[in-house]
Amino acid sequence: MTKPLTNMQTRDVEALLHPYTNAVMHREVGAHVIERGEGVYVYDDQGRRFIEGMAGLWCCGLGFGDRELIETAQAQLEKLPYYHLFGGRSHEPAIELAEKIKDLAPGMARVFYQSSGSEANETQIKLAWYYNNAMGRPEKKKIISRVKGYHGVSIVSASLTGLPYNHKSFDLPVDRIHHTATPHHWRGAEPGESEADFSARLAREFDEMIEAEGPDTVAAFIAEPVMGAGGVIAPPEGYFEAITPVLAKHDVLCIADEVICGFGRTGEWFGHQRLGMKPNAISMAKQLTGGYVPLSAVAIDAQMAEVIERHTGEVGIFGHGFTYGGHPLGCAVGSAAIDIYRRRDIPARVRALEPEFQRRLRSYADHPLVGEARGIGLLGALELTPGGTAMFDPVGKVGPYLAMRLLEHGVILRAIGDTLAFCPPMTISEDELDQLFAPIERCLDETLHWAT
Ligand code: PLP
């Protein structure tokens, strides 16, 4: 028996179409309405408190209610609530934030703003095309991303995303976008194949894919240093080290999608620094503003910047830009967030918490419901299986059941299919980490009982 909907839940189902939600089921169970947040906790409209184990959607790395971010936003709204960067106009918050991004990402020369991660990746692909036109290579336009990669939901970024739900019934992916294998050793390796050998094999397959497509037609490779929404998959040993020479051999641009990994999440400022990826361009969003204001940024290296800037002179204009790209509110809050990350040395904090966080995750590896416990930095996952690497049939029932059990115990974690993802605020204390993990064993047991 489902409970009757509250007044707020009724208003919700009558007014909203929810992202990533089964609207038919939602009408039955109703919304979980969140009212406010403080630190690592959020409170719902029934007054219940939850520890936010996903930092919202991987974005509130500084938790909720940070005074400095709030006061910065207020001050910026009073001083200049809106301005744009079109036609050569500018404002100091945009300039200052770009300078700070360049400081954190050595090798990056110019920053372009938009509001979301999807738009950042959309910009990346347009830049890769513009760049190759400028280089006199109009055929070099194909993009390679990865199965289970997540790069957003707009037409091109959803095409880059390698997940079935993002394509099904949307007539995607569009052409020119191809997907190479997921670097997931546990699922993808041959029996007895080491991580290094698996990486070398994937790099060979990647090389063969480019050869088959024609190197003169392949513009760029895009990858998250650690896959997030595809199930929190850190690459096996030597993966990016093996991919990099293939990119160089075929003159293919490397785009790091740092929308989740950026700003300390893996224990370095950027995930590519931790995972040995060598990008020509970086996408960032989410933790860029601690999730408080929508803002994303694309940074490009000096070679791309030089070619693109020159080409704007030839074309007459750089015909790309968003009304809210570089919004002063987002830039001011982003700038303040970077100051906080620096002052509190958040990457070092993540490195300090990582051993205990990862030890706890892996302590569930022997539970009969857990196929793999994995993660890096303050990112983690428990992939639930009926045994080994087998998948539940149907997929996507057991994971959400576990997430629902955890909710009953005051913990918000996200089920991605049958994988439970962890991405707590990077400001979480050891005591709060205890609270986050406290109900896991019991809820795994309850879920096992329910599933069998
Ligand atoms: N790229 C990555 C790695 C992401 O995780 C996401 C969102 O989760 C996106 C891009 C898309 O960002 P947005 O939802 O802001 O469009």
Tell me the HSE value of 333 on the side-chain side, using a 13 A CA sphere: 28
Rounded to the nearest angstrom, the distance between the alpha carbon of 204 and the centre of ligand 1 is 28
Which of 57, 154, 161, 259 most suits a substitution to test ligand 1, by most atoms within 8 Å of the C-beta?
Answer: 259
What's the pLDDT at 2?
A: 73
Q: Is 159 in the pocket of ligand 1 (CB under 6 A)?
A: no
Render pLDDT for 251-310 as a digit per residue (tens, 0 to 9).
999 999 999 999 999 999 999 999 999 999 999 999 999 999 999 999 999 999 999 999
pLDDT above 70 coverage of the chain, percent: 100
Residue 114 has pLDDT above 60, yes or no: yes
The pTM of this model reads 0.98
Find out whether the beta carbon of 265 lies less than 6 Å from any atom of ligand 1. Answer: no
pLDDT digits (tens, 9 = 90+) for 86-100: 999 999 999 999 999
Ligand 1 contact, 258 CB (< 6 A) = no
Q: Kindly report the protein residue whose alpha carbon is nearest to atom 10 of ligand 1.
A: 151
Indicate if ligand 1 lies below 6 Å from the C-beta of 224: yes
Distance CA 112, CA 21 (A): 32
Cβ–ligand 1 distance for 294 under 6 Å, the answer no
Mean pLDDT along residues 309-326: 97
- What percent of the chain lies above the pLDDT cut of 90? 99
Atom number of ligand 1 nearest to Cα 258 = 3
What is the whole-number distance in angstroms between the Cα of residue 176 and the centre of ligand 1?
21
Ligand 1: centre distance to CA 347 (Å): 21
From ligand 1's centre to the CA of 167, what distance in Å? 16
Q: Is the CB of 261 under 6 A from ligand 1?
A: no
pLDDT in tens, 366-378: 999 999 999 999 9
Q: What is the DSSP letter of 433?
A: H
Average pLDDT over residues 37-54: 98
| Structure ipTM | 0.99
Q: What average pLDDT does range 352-370 have in this prediction?
A: 98
1 pLDDT band (50/70/90 cuts)? Answer: low
Q: Residue 68 — very low, low, confident or very high, per pLDDT cuts 50/70/90?
A: very high
State if residue 287 touches ligand 1 by the CB under 6 angstroms criterion.
no
Cβ of 104 less than 6 Å from ligand 1: no
**Ligand 1 atom at minimal distance to the Cα of residue 154:** 16
Is the CB–ligand 1 distance for residue 148 below 6 Å? no
